Structure 1
Amino acid sequence: MNVRPATAADSTAISAILTEAWGGHIAVAHGTAYDATALPALVAEEDGRIVGLLTYTIEGDELEVVTLDAPIPQLGVGSELLSAAADLARAAGCRRLWLITTNDNLDALRFYQRRGMRIVAVSPGAVDHSRTLKPTIPETGAYGIPLHDELTLELLL
């Protein structure tokens, strides 16, 4: 598997991954709506095809992971992308890599914590507010869990 910065030639594959995972190009977290196609990105390739995507933003000395998608689970794609993002953050002089997930995303919580990330904040009702920016966010999430809250996880670098 090869992880590399995305290029303009990847735009069709990136759009397809985002549309499948997020219902479009817009991701909303902590009251901010991001057009994920406009963000810098890392892609994971295997046998010449893109098998994963991580979009991010760097502000000051922090890298925020905005989206992380590995459509085929258990291949190590998410781990490789997250590791590459941490390396990129360190090279950029960042001291923190962080992200937002939601209260229903138990698989992501397990994944991130197993890779050294810690839950540092819970924002009750944040997803309810996010629906004003993206009305297509469902009321019920994974495992039938009502979708209301955002959880912030971080990895200190």
Structure 2
Amino acid sequence: MSIGDVHVRKATEADQPAVEHILTTSWGGTIVIGHGVEYNAARLPALIAERDGAVAGLLTYHLTDDTLEVVTLDAPARHTGAGTALLTAAIDLARESGLHRLWLITTNDNLDALRFYQRRGLRIVAVTPDALDLVRERKPFVPQEGHYGIPLRDELTLELRL
């Protein structure tokens, strides 16, 4: 799938070093915790965005019977179309697989992500107050303060019904 000059494809074993690098840079490692579940995101299925042959972004996901959960979405260079291309590809994958819901978790401080997801049709469907307290029990390096100086406390669930 391509959007503009960004091409999205499924990750292969050859992409493992790039996947681990992006996750470690963005998440402090490959372990990601959301809604009380711990994932090794480097071992999940993934989509890779490329521009001019170079990796421009990564989306990892987890499939269940009728849903696709976006576990991580990283486009290190902002406003280049890589994030949109990755999310669009994940939505297409979910629809093609006959799934009924795409969803994800973000945090209360992540205003840029909230804007990004809502502009692409996702809706906030739940807030889990103080969820980051549990995350910090397993990942003590998660900061108390997030983006824009906002206290990092809560998880927000966003979804797109398919």
Shared fold per TM-score greater than 0.5: yes
SS of residue paired to 2:38: strand
Q: Is 2:26 the partner of 1:57?
A: no
Moved over 6 A (4+): none
Distance between the aligned counterparts of 2:62 and 2:76, measured in 1?
21
Aligned pairs for 1:91-106 (under 5 A) are 91-106=96-111
- Tell me by how many angstroms 1:152 deviates: 0.1
Q: Which runs of 5+ in 2 are unaligned?
A: 1-5
SS of residue paired to 1:128: helix
- Tell me by how many angstroms 1:28 deviates: 0.8
Q: Determine the structure 2 residue equivalent to 1:20.
A: 25
SS of residue paired to 1:137: coil
- Tell me by how many angstroms 1:17 deviates: 0.6
In the alignment, is the contact (CA less than 8 A) between 1:33 and 1:133 conserved in 2?
Answer: no
Deviations 1:33-73 (A, max 9, x none): 11100000000011111110000000110000000000000
Q: Which runs of 5+ in 1 are unaligned?
A: none
Q: Determine the structure 2 residue equivalent to 1:107.
A: 112
Q: Is 2:76 the partner of 1:71?
A: yes
In the alignment, is the contact (CA less than 8 A) between 1:56 and 1:64 conserved in 2?
Answer: yes
The count of residues paired between Structure 1 and Structure 2 equals 157
RMSD: 0.6
Q: In percent, how many aligned pairs have the same letter? A: 63
The TM-score, its normalising length taken from structure 2, stands at: 0.95
Letter in 2 for 1:88: L
SS of residue paired to 1:131: helix
The TM-score, its normalising length taken from structure 1, stands at: 0.98
Distance between the aligned counterparts of 2:130 and 2:91, measured in 1?
29
- Tell me by how many angstroms 1:126 deviates: 0.7
